[in-house]
């Protein structure tokens, strides 16, 4: 089941008896869990609300078989169970037995207790083992992976509209490019922008620059833009701001190297007509970066990018043997390429 379908079912108060919610998009997962709890109604921990961590199959089965005394139903949350994690090459026989025991109960006896229970398994990663398939057959499995940019943009637009605040599509795109694709971070940042704009106000690009905390990777894009446009003053200012924000200089060096390596890959992909998205190994929610990498690669010649990469490697080697200060080394590269 997709996230949208799950949200629709919850909104219609159409709850299943068993769920597996898994994935790394924690904000949407927790948001769906909150909505399920709200639909469920009054929760009394230990009575009709049970939380289980690192559970054995026996504990889960016992909770499912125990009546919700004084209540119509019981909500059971099983979090970070070993039962749905991918097994090592050398399989743990005890864990296999635990999985088989729970699967057998679900397939044969769950029908007798499902009316009195809603059980939700929550995992960051879930292997498609026998338990996964049993849950999928009896209830709902929903994977919470990072959404595509267009889906994230729709959510940001919806939130702004809910507070009668205007924001156009180019500004939303700039907002995501600046602040990343983590929904929790974006929600936190857009709340500031909504408060600043006020009812019937409009969020602008300069508001994002003034109020939002930009992702480190976004700042690296800014630095590269300044470098590509030969703006030495701005390039050094961006570098100094990173250092002032206490970003480790070694991290800045490594990130710059990886960034210019991607620009070099883009240059080669364009030269040999190769797929940029595939070669950069971008995630589905990072496809918008292709146009940014292509634009920045256009600032440099292939030979320039190769030289920049070589110089960054030389700086790293010199630093490690005590012959170079990283800060001065990076400033030297910026000055050299901004002056051309």
Using CA atoms, how far apart are residues 154 and 160, in angstroms rounded to an integer? 10
Q: In terms of domains, do 105 and 155 share one? A: no
Return the sign of the alpha-carbon dihedral for residues 84, 86, 92, 93. Answer: positive
H-run or E-run covering 119: strand 117-123
Q: In terms of domains, do 29 and 124 share one? A: yes
Domain end position, chosen among 211, 238, 256: 211
Domain end position, chosen among 196, 211, 226: 211
This prediction's pTM: 0.68
Quote the distance between the C-alpha of residue 284 and its chain's center: 11
1 has a pLDDT exceeding 60: yes
Q: In terms of domains, do 57 and 8 share one? A: yes
Using CA atoms, how far apart are residues 181 and 294, in angstroms rounded to an integer? 20
Give the pLDDT of residue 45: 85
How far is the first Cα of the chain from the last one, in angstroms, to the nearest whole number? 55
Most trustworthy range by pLDDT among 55-59, 62-66, 97-101: 62-66
Closest Cα to residue 66, out of 6, 25, 117, 17?
117
Q: In terms of domains, do 309 and 270 share one? A: yes
Quote the distance between the C-alpha of residue 203 and its chain's center: 24
Q: Which two tokens stand for residue 340?
A: 């051309």
Instruction: Report in angstroms the alpha-carbon separations of 168 from 106, 205, 208, 213.
Output: 49, 10, 13, 20
Q: In terms of domains, do 54 and 137 share one? A: yes
Greater pLDDT, 86 or 218: 218
Q: In terms of domains, do 17 and 94 share one? A: yes
Mean pLDDT of all residues belonging to the chain: 88
Q: What are the pLDDT digits (tens) for 148-161?
A: 888 899 999 999 99
Domain end position, chosen among 178, 211, 244: 211
Q: What are the pLDDT digits (tens) for 168-215?
A: 999 999 999 889 888 888 999 999 999 999 999 999 999 999 999 888
How many domains does one find in the chain?
Answer: 3
Q: In terms of domains, do 117 and 52 share one? A: yes
CATH number at residue 160: 1.10.8.60
Residue 38 domain boundaries: 3-143
Give the pLDDT of residue 339: 61
Q: Which two tokens stand for residue 93?
A: 């026989």
* Cα Rg of the chain, angstroms: 26
88 has a pLDDT exceeding 50: no
State the pLDDT confidence band at 338, using cuts at 50, 70 and 90.
low
Q: In terms of domains, do 98 and 165 share one? A: no
Instruction: Report in angstroms the alpha-carbon separations of 84 from 2, 36, 127, 130.
Output: 20, 22, 6, 9
Using CA atoms, how far apart are residues 262 and 253, in angstroms rounded to an integer? 14
Q: In terms of domains, do 204 and 220 share one? A: no
Give the pLDDT of residue 340: 55
Q: In terms of domains, do 204 and 310 share one? A: no
Give the pLDDT of residue 87: 62
Q: In terms of domains, do 128 and 49 share one? A: yes
Helices and strands, counts by H and E, the chain: 17, 5
CATH number at residue 230: 1.20.272.10
310 has a pLDDT exceeding 70: yes
**231 contacts: CB under 8 Å, gap ≥ 6:** 338
Share of the chain above pLDDT 90, in %: 43
Using CA atoms, how far apart are residues 204 and 257, in angstroms rounded to an integer? 32
Q: In terms of domains, do 26 and 124 share one? A: yes
Q: Is 17 in contact with 139 (CB distance < 8 Å)? A: yes
Q: What are the pLDDT digits (tens) for 236-294?
A: 888 888 888 888 889 999 999 999 999 999 999 999 999 998 898 887 777 788 888 99
Q: What are the pLDDT digits (tens) for 24-59?
A: 888 889 999 999 999 888 888 888 899 987 678 888
Using CA atoms, how far apart are residues 299 and 294, in angstroms rounded to an integer? 9
CATH number at residue 128: 3.40.50.300
């Amino acid at each position: 089941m997709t996230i949208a379908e799950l949200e629709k079912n919850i909104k219609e108060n159409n709850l299943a008896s068993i769920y597996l919610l898994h994935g790394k998009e924690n904000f949407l997962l927790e948001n769906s869990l909150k909505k399920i709890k709200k639909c469920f109604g009054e929760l009394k921990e230990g009575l009709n609300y049970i939380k289980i961590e690192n559970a054995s199959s026996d504990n889960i089965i016992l909770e499912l078989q125990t009546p919700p005394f004084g209540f119509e139903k019981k909500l059971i949350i099983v979090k970070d169970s070993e039962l749905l994690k991918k097994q090592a090459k050398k399989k743990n026989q005890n864990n296999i037995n635990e999985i088989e025991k729970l699967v057998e109960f679900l397939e044969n006896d769950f029908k007798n207790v499902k009316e009195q229970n809603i059980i939700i398994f929550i995992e960051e990663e879930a292997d498609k083992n026998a338990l996964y398939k049993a849950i999928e057959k009896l209830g709902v499995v929903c994977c919470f992976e990072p959404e595509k940019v267009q889906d994230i943009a729709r959510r940001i637009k919806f939130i702004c509209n809910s507070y009668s605040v205007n924001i156009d599509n180019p500004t939303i795109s700039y907002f995501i490019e600046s602040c990343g694709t983590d929904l929790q971070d974006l929600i936190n940042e857009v709340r500031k922008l909504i408060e600043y704009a006020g009812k019937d106000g409009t969020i602008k690009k300069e508001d994002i620059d003034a109020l939002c905390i930009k992702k480190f990777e976004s700042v690296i894009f800014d630095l590269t833009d300044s470098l590509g446009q030969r703006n030495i003053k701005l390039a050094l200012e961006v570098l100094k701001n990173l250092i002032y924000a206490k970003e480790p200089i070694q991290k800045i060096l490594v990130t710059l190297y990886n960034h210019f390596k991607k620009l070099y890959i883009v240059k080669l992909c364009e030269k040999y007509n190769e797929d940029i998205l595939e070669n950069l190994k971008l995630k589905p929610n990072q496809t918008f970066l292709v146009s940014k990498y292509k634009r920045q690669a256009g600032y440099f010649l292939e030979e320039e990018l190769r030289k920049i990469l070589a110089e960054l490697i030389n700086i790293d080697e010199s630093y490690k043997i005590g012959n170079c200060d990283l800060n001065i080394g990076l400033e030297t590269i910026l000055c050299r390429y901004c002056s051309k």
